[in-house]
Amino acid sequence: MYPADLVKPMREDLTTFGFEELHTGEAVESAMTKEGTTLVVVNSVCGCAAANARPGAKASLNNSKKPDNLVTVFAGVDREATDKARGFMVPFPPSSPSMALFKNGELVHMLERHHIEGRPAEMIAENLMDAYNEHC
């Protein structure tokens, strides 16, 4: 587990943009049963989360259509919540960072680490905005 002081600014990078942090499996279960669309960001301490994933997720919200719910779990910190969230992302293997868009609890779009790593935040944002335009 990573020290709280280390991950605090990484958590706040999303929560200041309206993402709700989920720390337990119950919280994830509750979030996934909400009607509408939900973007789940699996946050991470890695460089591609800082340079690509979090900036891409935030930039994607500059769109006329966007998810009804924004939530995040932190890999390597909130293990129970992360494992529960990843269970909803099957058949995709666990990866972090990653992002998944759900509509009424059904997975409709997935960005795995290999879609994020090495790609600019703008490309990630465009990918998400295309998904929002289709599903939100």
What residues act catalytically?
A: 46, 48
∠ CA 61-87-109, rounded to 5°: 35
Q: Where are the beta strands (DSSP E) in 53-93?
A: 69-74
Task: Pick the closest to residue 21 from 127, 36, 62, 4 (CA basis).
Answer: 4
